[in-house]
A and B are shown apart, each in its own frame.
Chain A
């Protein structure tokens, strides 16, 4: 690994000031560090559009962005809260089980003890071409996507263009289903962005996966209180049960009236460069008897899927798991 400078920030303002102070160099904020340090920097994942960080600002030392608050208005989680703290929070387990189950499905206990919510949401993708030092791909500022003609068994089946990564974050898939928003701080001030608008595909900017600018970082996630009686479902299919990313994940959050779909969201991870909201499935279910329609509704995912040479099996998996997750949530 190449050497770097590390600064501890104790307030959001201090972190923002440090981002401004080192803006002439490659500067990144760091949470648990399992991706940026243990992944990107250790493995020399770099390119013309992705220089290795020279300065890291530790934000886990900022008290204001660690912790979970729930009240009548909703839930606010600090971006530097560890995944273990989210899993262990009894309020969250009962109120937002789709989030705590998603957090529980991440990596391993060791990583969850260090890994933060902000880090999980904003980690870089796991595409093996992107992560391979010798593949100079679009996402690192190169001029090629090796997945198009290469081994794309784990790549995108929906919404890939130019670059075919899948978004790696389990908590993002759950938070998108919960209609969460991100609070962002930066040298230009603070702003709030709904998760619906937070993630960006490769056509917008192939070098990044979200709206964060180099001088900004996520401070909090806010989640509105779900209507009472809301059904929650979470499924994550992975090739091994500890320390693996989602082959397919599905989050289902919906309300029911007399067995019929009232309102809600179905989101899918592992299929697209962004956490994917399966509106085709939601629309199909609208007002219908869920038990009777789930199979047909799940099949709607096929209408938007554009698999690559080696990953059409993921379309079948997505369809099967959307159906299962909806029915599991329904109970």
Chain B
């Protein structure tokens, strides 16, 4: 099967048009494509609209599903602790980093220190002499069969070892050694000669025609893609009473997952086994299968279910995992590959730098006339897309009759973009919601009233796909009440609380396409001969409780007490089916729908075989009574009974023993494409801004999210609290910097990158809004990423309310704030 360049399919129309039916099938299996479908649905929407009938399952367009009427919930809606809780708090859980095997070697990687260069020679002779060095692999001795292997999409191409490297941190050689310390010394003993080439380090510079090209392209400089604009109405000639301009910028962020990326690989004959910190076991398997040119059933991927987080950058493999697999094959030894914190910071993906140029025309009566919004994203040293992902809320959140959306993605020799608890939606919310506040203040209107007046609660205005029971109004009024908006909101710079310290309050609304369900929603529910139940799902748990959710949904759908059903924390691709990656906040609906369907299927079989068992008992007793499945029901205790004779009961063990083989419920569900499945939220915050130090202190934070139905309210609150903490880091301190002269990273460590400490982080008060969705599993909608959206505009808007200056460049550091204050005086 040919390797399809997934990103190029959506950015290069000629390439998409050249694909054969076989290529489209291959694309549907491609982990990068699958990740884009769930994480960046805006990006793939055009291709799916045009070529959907060529994609397996992509042409589904059944009638809107109605939310099924269900029994009273027994499990759903209760606070349930994580199945891994004990292992997490005692560190007895199976974290990949803790795994060891006899005979194991350690991998270390020599990486480029130039952002753009040609490797002219590699001399490993000194390194080879170091005792304990077992194997050194580089482009000079890479086995022939792997020379054409690459990850991602061209151009520029990321081969296993590039001759031309496009980023600091690109791999040049890998070493297998007896210890990491030997490896550390050995990589520094390799002599590399570089021919340094001109690098594009600044996004706006890189877009210029004068910037040297680094790959074949018709676009200026190193521009990767200019998305066809979305135009609604007549934005260029529309008039408005007031026109608000807003340039909103944000810097590069990294996830800072607590557990560093790592893997343990070994070969059992011709089969690769890899335990790896990932968010998509089956996607990892597909990636390794493609890269190593072996069938999927010759690759076994384990994800232990104990993961120091994922946040999107662990959906699939990176070059290091392929290197580790090859080193293991060549040495015949298990390979442990622990990334360093530097490598996790620099060589993996990031939420990219964005620049948004926003123009909003509003009338004094509070209506919006037009919006012209341009988003530019710095996708780093690769072909990727991020800019038009920021369109989703600009397109859907408010009624904007005349709209023009533009998007440009720019390649630079810098940090690569990718999902970070979403890729682009938080940026879109930051840009739109600071613009909305500017407009509200410009027409002297309460920012909440202004938003409520303009909400779009119908559906996507362009595709006409409807929302299902959208809760955006409830979210906004929810935070309005919770923060006591009517009493705490005031005119800008109107409330000094101490000398030089001002109080402010701000809010923001949010809409994004995450939390939706999408194919493949598979799963199995097995009832054993003793009546105990096993839920089987390929859903990878990345630390936020996905598999606890799977367990709860399976228990509810089957209708048995939680105490009688189990699920493993881990997944093993050898005995599970794909449920897609744990990305796009979609597991409640994607993996969850698999559990739901399998549970319902198992329940139907229970009633069917229960009827057979009753009838067999009746026949043995020479009674004439006969029943069908429709005559039976199962109580919340998992006991089957005859509805009009409830004293006649059977337990699950009796039914399975009668059937003689296990009951296996399964799911073959395919998702309808009728709905515009969106997550919505609103946040509000009170702050105190010190005009002497530029310190912004968040004194109160409230967050409302419409989750359709809260499966596990405990887990919902944790997701929102954690999301707010994480997002606030990027608002106040976090940005991954490079030295503009050398392109080298400046702060790829926990000290200088400054993620918030426990003393800095706000604790959000969570308002759970439940407006059940017709498409949702038990009416639910996913939640992982949406809390990342509103904090930036909420805090920026609150700071404006406090001190009367706009700082729309994240992070909102004290130097920027003090400069803005100085400029305003």
For window 22-68 of chain A, which residues contact chain B by CB distance below 8 Å? 43-44
The smallest C-beta distance from A46 to any residue of chain B, in angstroms, reads 10
A151 and B692 within 8 A (CB):
no
The smallest C-beta distance from B663 to any residue of chain A, in angstroms, reads 52
B746 and A241 within 8 A (CB):
no
A243 and B757 within 8 A (CB):
yes
Q: How far is the CA of A43 from the CA of B692 in the complex (A)?
A: 36
A128 and B746 within 8 A (CB):
yes
Q: How far is the CA of A321 from the CA of B747 in the complex (A)?
A: 26
B693 at interface (Cβ–Cβ under 8 A)?
yes
A126 and B744 within 8 A (CB):
no
B739 and A151 within 8 A (CB):
yes
B754 and A320 within 8 A (CB):
no
A313 and B815 within 8 A (CB):
yes
The smallest C-beta distance from A326 to any residue of chain B, in angstroms, reads 14
Q: Encode contact with B along A131-147: 1 for CB under 8 Å, 0 otherwise.
A: 11011000000000010
Give the chain B neighbours of A292 by CB distance below 8 A: none
B694 at interface (Cβ–Cβ under 8 A)?
yes
Residue of A132, A243, A244 ringed by the most chain B CB atoms within 10 A: A132
Q: How far is the CA of A146 from the CA of B733 in the complex (A)?
A: 23
Q: How far is the CA of A135 from the CA of B184 in the complex (A)?
A: 18
A243 and B751 within 8 A (CB):
yes
Q: How far is the CA of A324 from the CA of B760 in the complex (A)?
A: 22
A150 at interface (Cβ–Cβ under 8 A)?
yes
Give the chain B neighbours of A135 by CB distance below 8 A: 739, 742, 744
B758 and A2 within 8 A (CB):
no
B185 and A240 within 8 A (CB):
no
The smallest C-beta distance from A271 to any residue of chain B, in angstroms, reads 15
B181 and A1 within 8 A (CB):
yes
Number of interface residues of A (CB under 8 A): 34
A313 and B694 within 8 A (CB):
yes
A240 and B737 within 8 A (CB):
no
Q: A146-B739, A242-B757 are in contact. Are A2 and B184 (CB under 8 A)?
A: yes
B67 at interface (Cβ–Cβ under 8 A)?
no
B647 at interface (Cβ–Cβ under 8 A)?
no
A303 at interface (Cβ–Cβ under 8 A)?
no
Q: Encode contact with A along B574-608: 1 for CB under 8 Å, 0 otherwise.
A: 00000000000000000000000000000000000
B113 at interface (Cβ–Cβ under 8 A)?
yes
Which listed residue, B692, B741, B815, B818, touches A153 by the CB 8 Å rule? B815
B747 and A240 within 8 A (CB):
no
Give the chain A neighbours of B746 by CB distance below 8 A: 128-129, 132, 151
Q: How far is the CA of A30 from the CA of B675 in the complex (A)?
A: 64
A134 and B113 within 8 A (CB):
yes
B752 at interface (Cβ–Cβ under 8 A)?
yes
Q: Encode contact with A along B172-186: 1 for CB under 8 Å, 0 otherwise.
A: 000000000100110
Q: How far is the CA of A207 from the CA of B133 in the complex (A)?
A: 34
B465 at interface (Cβ–Cβ under 8 A)?
no
A134 and B744 within 8 A (CB):
yes
B184 and A1 within 8 A (CB):
yes
The smallest C-beta distance from A99 to any residue of chain B, in angstroms, reads 22
A71 at interface (Cβ–Cβ under 8 A)?
no
Q: How far is the CA of A40 from the CA of B289 in the complex (A)?
A: 40
A149 and B754 within 8 A (CB):
no
Q: How far is the CA of A323 from the CA of B320 in the complex (A)?
A: 53
Residue of A153, A240, A324 ringed by the most chain B CB atoms within 10 A: A240
Q: Encode contact with B along A141-169: 1 for CB under 8 Å, 0 otherwise.
A: 00000100111010000000000000000
Which listed residue, B692, B741, B757, touches A241 by the CB 8 Å rule? B757
B464 at interface (Cβ–Cβ under 8 A)?
no
B759 and A241 within 8 A (CB):
yes
B814 at interface (Cβ–Cβ under 8 A)?
yes
The smallest C-beta distance from A270 to any residue of chain B, in angstroms, reads 13
Q: How far is the CA of A242 from the CA of B752 in the complex (A)?
A: 12
A14 at interface (Cβ–Cβ under 8 A)?
no
A44 and B188 within 8 A (CB):
yes
Which listed residue, A126, A134, A242, A316, touches B759 by the CB 8 Å rule? A242
Q: Encode contact with A along B800-825: 1 for CB under 8 Å, 0 otherwise.
A: 00000000000001110011000000
Q: How far is the CA of A44 from the CA of B111 in the complex (A)?
A: 15
B740 at interface (Cβ–Cβ under 8 A)?
yes
For window 200-244 of chain A, which residues contact chain B by CB distance below 8 Å? 237, 239-244
A241 and B760 within 8 A (CB):
yes
The smallest C-beta distance from B745 to any residue of chain A, in angstroms, reads 8
For window 95-153 of chain A, which residues contact chain B by CB distance below 8 Å? 108, 126, 128-129, 131-132, 134-135, 146, 149-151, 153
The smallest C-beta distance from B216 to any residue of chain A, in angstroms, reads 31
B226 at interface (Cβ–Cβ under 8 A)?
no
B692 and A324 within 8 A (CB):
yes
The smallest C-beta distance from A234 to any residue of chain B, in angstroms, reads 15
B756 at interface (Cβ–Cβ under 8 A)?
yes
Q: A1-B184, A242-B758 are in contact. Are A317 and B819 (CB under 8 A)?
A: no
The smallest C-beta distance from B680 to any residue of chain A, in angstroms, reads 31
The smallest C-beta distance from B748 to any residue of chain A, in angstroms, reads 9
Give the chain B neighbours of A93 by CB distance below 8 A: none
Give the chain B neighbours of A2 by CB distance below 8 A: 181, 184-185
Give the chain B neighbours of A331 by CB distance below 8 A: none
Residue of A nearest to B744 (CB): A134
Give the chain B neighbours of A324 by CB distance below 8 A: 692
Q: How far is the CA of A192 from the CA of B410 in the complex (A)?
A: 60
For window 724-781 of chain B, which residues contact chain A by CB distance below 8 Å? 732-733, 737, 739-742, 744-747, 749-752, 754-760
Q: A3-B181, A151-B746, A320-B693 are in contact. Are A128 and B752 (CB under 8 A)?
A: yes
Which listed residue, A126, A151, A240, A245, touches B757 by the CB 8 Å rule? A240
A310 at interface (Cβ–Cβ under 8 A)?
yes
Give the chain B neighbours of A316 by CB distance below 8 A: 818
Residue of B nearest to A235 (CB): B693
B747 and A128 within 8 A (CB):
yes
Q: A3-B181, A146-B739, A151-B739 are in contact. Are A132 and B818 (CB under 8 A)?
A: no
A132 and B744 within 8 A (CB):
yes
Which listed residue, A240, A317, A320, touches B760 by the CB 8 Å rule? A240
Give the chain A neighbours of B818 by CB distance below 8 A: 313, 316-317
Q: A1-B181, A135-B744 are in contact. Are A150 and B757 (CB under 8 A)?
A: no
The smallest C-beta distance from A261 to any residue of chain B, in angstroms, reads 22
Q: How far is the CA of A3 from the CA of B178 in the complex (A)?
A: 13
B188 and A151 within 8 A (CB):
no
A313 and B819 within 8 A (CB):
yes
The smallest C-beta distance from A302 to any residue of chain B, in angstroms, reads 14
Q: How far is the CA of A131 from the CA of B732 in the complex (A)?
A: 24
Give the chain A neighbours of B732 by CB distance below 8 A: 239
Q: A132-B746, A150-B740, A310-B815 are in contact. Are A239 and B754 (CB under 8 A)?
A: yes
Give the chain A neighbours of B693 by CB distance below 8 A: 237, 317, 320-321
Give the chain B neighbours of A126 by CB distance below 8 A: 751-752
Q: How far is the CA of A126 from the CA of B754 in the complex (A)?
A: 14
Residue of A nearest to B739 (CB): A150
Residue of B184, B693, B818 ringed by the most chain A CB atoms within 10 A: B693
For window 293-347 of chain B, which residues contact chain A by CB distance below 8 Å? none
Q: How far is the CA of A324 from the CA of B739 in the complex (A)?
A: 34
Q: How far is the CA of A27 from the CA of B813 in the complex (A)?
A: 41
Give the chain A neighbours of B695 by CB distance below 8 A: 237
25 A-B pairs within 8 Å (CB atoms) are namely: A43-B749, A108-B757, A128-B746, A129-B746, A134-B113, A134-B744, A146-B741, A150-B739, A150-B741, A151-B739, A239-B732, A239-B813, A239-B814, A240-B755, A244-B751, A244-B754, A244-B757, A245-B751, A310-B815, A313-B694, A313-B814, A320-B693, A321-B692, A321-B693, A324-B692
Q: Which residues of B contact A (CB under 8 A)?
A: 113, 181, 184-185, 188, 692-695, 732-733, 737, 739-742, 744-747, 749-752, 754-760, 813-815, 818-819
Known: A44-B188, A146-B741. 5 other contacts (CB 8 A): A132-B745, A134-B742, A240-B755, A242-B760, A311-B815
Q: Which residues of A contact B (CB under 8 A)?
A: 1-3, 43-44, 108, 126, 128-129, 131-132, 134-135, 146, 149-151, 153, 237, 239-245, 310-311, 313, 316-317, 320-321, 324
> What 4 pairs between A and B have smallest CB-CB spacing?
A242-B757, A241-B759, A320-B692, A313-B815
